[in-house]
Amino acid sequence: MKKKNRFLANKTFVVFSILAVCIILTAVFAPVVTRGVDPLKGSLVDALLPPCKEHIFGTDKMGRDIFSRVIYGARASLSATFGVVALIFLVGTVTGVLAGYFGGVIDAVIMRIADMMLAFPGLVLALAVAGIMGASIKNAIIAIVVVSWTKYARLARSLVMKIRDRDYVSAAIVTGSKTPYMLFRYMLPNALPTLIITAATDIGSMMLELAAMSFLGFGAKPPAPEWGYMLNEGRACMQSAPWLMIFPGLAIFVVVVVFNMLGDSIRDILDPRNE
């Protein structure tokens, strides 16, 4: 089978790619999907209405439409998640490649910082960092990046160290190749495929971490439509108005499953053992 057809030949990848694109398009075209209903506008007269024809997901305690808030919440949750994954990927890859290629003091400093981060439970440390900086989506992203880049750094370092002492790398150095050329020509290309697979499989877990941060009060602030914060809002009315938690919870569940399955299919396609 030709390499260019490997993605299309994987049915799991095709199905979950379509679903992922649909989720992203739903977030992008949220005003169209919600028919212009403002997720921030409410009416106390319509507070805590159960799902009905006018409000298919019901309303919250402020009379705001839950369906509109869930759809608009996809924007906040997806953009924050992709931002976290991109920043972790960038920071971890750069530091890991530099540590693996140069070794010595640079390697020791970077790895000791990484070990120090790994000594604490990730979410607990992220909560501590976010608590110091204050509650907001931006600070939640920074907090998760601070504690999560270490996995990518250690992975990139190990991949670079595998090829650093190869004969063709030594030959390139002897012939006068400069450090930037060595990094971009030999080190990064060998490390990127595995790191990309790791990033793809981390999308779901990063979304859960961000939702957890908002649920605990360290992420999105009111009245922002964000799934984790919506779950937090619905706790007080869990028995009398369960739809306040059911629909944001289902949104998180569906999106996490879709991106986890998509990441797993990308890993299966790019796995060298499947060549």
Q: Give the pLDDT confidence of 79-120 residue by residue, as tens digits.
A: 999 999 999 999 999 999 999 989 889 999 999 999 888 887
Is-contact 99 111, C-beta < 8 A? yes
Quote the pLDDT of residue 1: 44
Q: What does the block give as tokens for 261? A: 């399955």
Question: Cα–Cα distance between 166 and 268 in angstroms, integer?
Answer: 27
**Which domains does the chain carry?**
77-274 (1.10.3720.10)
The reported pTM is 0.88
Quote the pLDDT of residue 274: 56
Q: What does the block give as tokens for 127? A: 């909560």
Q: Indicate the average pLDDT of the chain.
A: 88
How far apart, in Å, are the Cα atoms of 101 and each of 5, 177, 193?
Answer: 34, 14, 18
pLDDT digits (tens, 9 = 90+) for 214-260: 998 888 888 889 999 999 989 888 888 999 999 999 999 999 999 99
Using the structure block, give the residue that is written with the tokens 């869990």.
Answer: 238
Is-contact 117 150, C-beta < 8 A? yes
The residue among 45 and 275 whose pLDDT is bigger is 45
